[in-house]
């Protein structure tokens, strides 16, 4: 069925001027942009977004990194969106990401890995509403 996922182009990729190239790959893969903006997270708000990782050793660093510069959050729509988008972006660790994936092309490290993709339909909805009101989702 057609459904939605949530993504953010992360600070490293935005800062390096890779957002246009990444959005082009996403659209060419058949995803429709439902919502998009450029914004900056505070460390507190990054912490809220990544609350599920609060006990991980990389959590404080992750919150610092995700608030270090502007990000581009988006809601995307496509048949089988969550799984297909995770295939398009590749593994979290770019050294393990498959050839042709967004992370293989643009990620710098496990942390600065260029892009986020929701891991379930439920989280896609939660994460989408973290950034966009219902009236901003077309
Ligand atoms: P993402 O999967 O989008 O959301 C969780 C983020 O935490 C992940 O991308 C990375 O940016 C970061 N992350 C995950 N694992 C590690 C790790 N082992 N070391 C540092 N950062 C990590």
Give me the tens of pLDDT residue by residue for the chain, a chain 138 residues long. Answer: 899 999 999 999 999 999 999 999 999 999 999 999 999 999 999 999 999 999 999 999 999 999 999 999 999 999 999 999 999 999 999 999 999 999 999 999 999 999 999 999 999 999 999 999 999 999
CA of 111 to the centre of ligand 1 (A): 5
The number of helix segments (H) and strand segments (E) in the chain equals 7, 4
Q: What is the pLDDT of residue 109?
A: 98
| 55 belongs to a structural domain | no
Locate the DSSP E strands across the chain. 2-9, 32-36, 72-79, 115-117
In sequence order, the 6+-apart residues with CB closer than 8 A to the CB of 3 are: 77, 78, 79, 80, 81, 82, 121, 124
Minimal-distance CA residue to ligand 1 atom 20: 111
Which residues have C-beta atoms less than 6 Å from ligand 1?
A: 53, 58, 62, 92, 110-111, 113, 116
* CATH number for the domain harbouring residue 31: 3.30.70.141
62 belongs to a structural domain = no
Is residue 46 included in any domain, yes or no? no
The pLDDT score that the predictor gives to residue 101 is 98
Residue 8 lies in a domain: yes
Ligand 1 mutation target, pool 53, 58, 59, most atoms within 8 A of CB: 58
pLDDT of residue 68: 98
Binding site for ATP, residues?
A: 10, 58, 86, 92, 103, 113
Ligand 1 centroid to Cα of residue 135, in Å, is: 30
Give a yes or no: residue 109 inside a domain: yes
Domains contained in the chain, number: 1
Across the beta sheet with 115-117, the strand order is 32-36, 72-79, 2-9, 115-117
Domain annotation covers residue 59: no
Catalytic: 116?
yes
CA angle 52, 41, 5 (to 5 degrees): 60
In a domain, 131, yes or no: yes
**Which one is catalytic: 13, 71, 116, 124?**
116
């Amino acid at each position: 069925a057609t459904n939605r996922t949530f993504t953010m182009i992360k600070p490293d990729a935005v800062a390096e001027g890779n957002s246009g190239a990444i959005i082009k790959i996403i659209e060419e893969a058949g995803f429709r942009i439902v919502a998009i903006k450029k914004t900056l997270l505070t460390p507190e708000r990054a912490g809220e977004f990544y609350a599920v990782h609060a006990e991980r050793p990389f959590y404080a660093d992750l919150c610092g990194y995700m608030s270090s510069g502007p990000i581009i959050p988006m809601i995307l729509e496509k048949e089988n969106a969550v799984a297909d988008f995770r295939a398009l972006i590749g593994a979290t660790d770019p050294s393990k990401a498959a050839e042709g994936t967004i992370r293989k092309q643009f990620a710098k490290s496990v942390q600065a890995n260029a892009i986020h993709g929701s891991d379930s339909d439920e989280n896609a909805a939660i994460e989408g509403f973290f950034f966009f009101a219902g009236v901003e989702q077309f």
